Amino acid sequence: MGETLKCVVCGNPATVHLTQIVHNKIHKVDLCDECAKSKGVTDPEGFSLMELLASTVKDADDEPATKDALVCEHCGFTPTDFKKLGRFGCPSCYQYFKPILGPMLQNMHKDIQHRGKVPSKSLERVNLQQRLDELEKDLQDAIRTERYEDAAKFRDELSQLRAVAKA
């Protein structure tokens, strides 16, 4: 028979099992009946899984001293409010919570600054045009400095790339 799961709060045998995906990570919380009732799991109106997870599961980016000190001066929102609701109270919150937003976004995405997406064919065209411009500049420079062998190489490469661009 399998191993009995224990309540993360008190250590008694768990009978309530919650699973949530936060920041692309699966968090599982196991509770006994008593702790589930005290945390409001049985009352859908007063229950917040995000709050429960925040109190029982330590995120890698948690810095309690820093988080507790942050409060939005415009709306009074705290990081705890953000965890409960999953959104900010006003646009100013983004500036006030910047110290915790960076690490959180870094865990969720490749970078903290949105750079947009470029279709692959467009990217190829842009790269080809940049290379053509670069070769044209190199060709003019080689002619100006009388490096005719280099100029011939640049001219030949330009011809090949222009043929590819037309195709």
pLDDT tens digits, residue range 71-100? 888 888 888 888 777 788 888 888 888 888
What's the mean pLDDT when you consider all of the chain? 76
Which pLDDT score, from 0 to 100, does residue 21 have? 67
Dump the DSSP string for the chain: -PPPPB-TTT-SBP-EEEEEEETTEEEEEEE-HHHHHHTTTT-TTT--HHHHHHHHS--TT--HHHHHH---TTT---HHHHHHHSS-SSTTHHHHTHHHHHHHHHHHSS-SS------HHHHHHHHHHHHHHHHHHHHHHHHHTT-HHHHHHHHHHHHHHHHHHH-
pLDDT exceeds cutoff 80 at 117: no
Least confident of 31-45, 52-66, 71-85: 52-66
- Flag whether the pTM goes above 0.75: no
